[in-house]
Amino acid sequence: MASKADNKPTELDPSWEIPVHVGIIMDGNGRWARARGLNRLAGHRAGTENLRRIVRACADFGIKYLTVFAFSTENWARPKEEVDGLMEIMEEFIDKEIDELDAEGVQIRHVGKLDGIPERLKAKIKMSIERTRHNNRLVLSVAFNYGGRDEIVQAVRKIVAEGIPPDEITEETIANHLYTAGMPDPDLVIRTSGEIRISNFLLWQSAYAEWYFTPRFWPDFGREDLIAAIADYNRRERRFGRVLDAD
Ligand code: FPP
C-alpha cells in the first residue's frame, strides 16, 4: 500500500472491509467556485464532474450502493438562477452520462419527491431509472428534492393510507415505506467542505452509520480521499449499541 509524505494510503488495502452502502453530502461547490472567482453554477458543474469520477471509483472498489445528496427540499429557497441552473445541470448529467453509466452496470434510482421537479427533468429521471433497472454493479441513488423529515412524513402517510393497524407498525414497516425501501442502510456517510452536521440527509437510515467529515470541497474530493475515508471506516469499531467485549 503506497503512502505519501502525509501517510495517507493511495490504494485500498485488500484486508479492508469495503462499506456496502456509502452516502455522500456533496458540500462546498459554492465555496470552491468563489475561491476561483467563478460563479456558483461553475462550482456545481465541477461538482457534477467529480460525481462522475467518484461513481467510477465506487464501482471499482466494490461499493454496491452510493447515495448522493444533490438537491434538498430546502434548496428551493436558493436564488431562482441557481435553482434553475441545478435543474439544468441534472438534465445535462443524465443526457451526457446515461449511456456510459448503463454500460458500466450502474443502476440509477431517485430518492425524494418527483412533485415540483420540472416535467422535462422528471421524464428524464424516470427514463434513466427504467433504462438501468436491471443493472447491479452499483446502485446510484440520487437524492434530489429530498429531505429526511419529509421522507418520514411521506412514509407515515402511506402507512396510514394502507390502513396498517398501529400495533402492527414496526421499524421494518417504516423502513419499507421510505424512498430507500429494499436498500441496506448506509455504513459510511461522508460530508465534504468542513461542515459537521446531518442537514436532513438519510435521517432514519443513518442511525448506525459511521460519519466521516473532511475539509475538502466536493469538487476536490478525489479517489484518494475516498480511500482515506474507507481507511478511517476500517479503524472504527461498529457496535450498533451493543458491548462487543464484555468482561
Ligand atoms: C452543496 O454545495 C451542493 C449542492 C447543494 C448541490 C450538489 C449538486 C451537485 C454536485 C451537482 C448536481 C448533481 C447531480 C446528481 C447531477 P453548496 O452550494 O451548498 O456549497 P457552499 O456551501 O460552498 O455554498
Of 24, 26, 53, 84, best ligand 1 pocket probe by most atoms within 8 Å of the beta carbon: 26
Q: Phi-psi bin for 50: left (phi > 0), alpha (psi -120 to 50), beta?
A: alpha
pLDDT tens digits for range 158-214: 999 999 999 999 999 999 999 999 999 999 999 999 999 999 999 999 999 999 999
Long-range residue pairs from 235-238, CB within 8 A, at least 24 positions apart, any chain = 236/210, 238/187, 238/208, 238/210
pLDDT tens track for 127-143? 999 999 999 999 999 99
Q: What is the pLDDT of residue 143?
A: 98
Atom of ligand 1 nearest to the CA of 68: 15
**Distance (Å) of CA 245 to CA 70, 187, 189, 210, 237:** 40, 21, 26, 20, 11
Low-confidence ranges of the chain (pLDDT < 70): 1-7, 246-247
Annotation says 27 is catalytic: yes
The CATH number of 18-146+184-234, from 3.30.70.260, 3.40.50.300, 3.40.1180.10, 2.60.40.10, is 3.40.1180.10
- Cα dist from 72 to 78, 101, 143, 151, 156, whole Å: 11, 23, 7, 11, 20
CA dihedral (85, 90, 91, 93) positive or negative: positive
Q: Measured between alpha carbons, how far is residue 2 from residues 13, 99, 222, 226 in Å?
A: 10, 34, 16, 15
Q: How far is the CA of 26 from the centre of ligand 1 (A)?
A: 6
75 in active site: yes
Residues having CB within 6 Å of any atom of ligand 1: 26-31, 44, 47-48, 51, 70, 75, 89-90, 93, 142, 193
What is the pLDDT, as a whole number, of residue 6? 60
Which residue owns the Cα nearest ligand 1 atom 22?
28
Give the nearest ligand 1 atom to 69 CA. Answer: 7
The per-residue pLDDT for 247 is 63
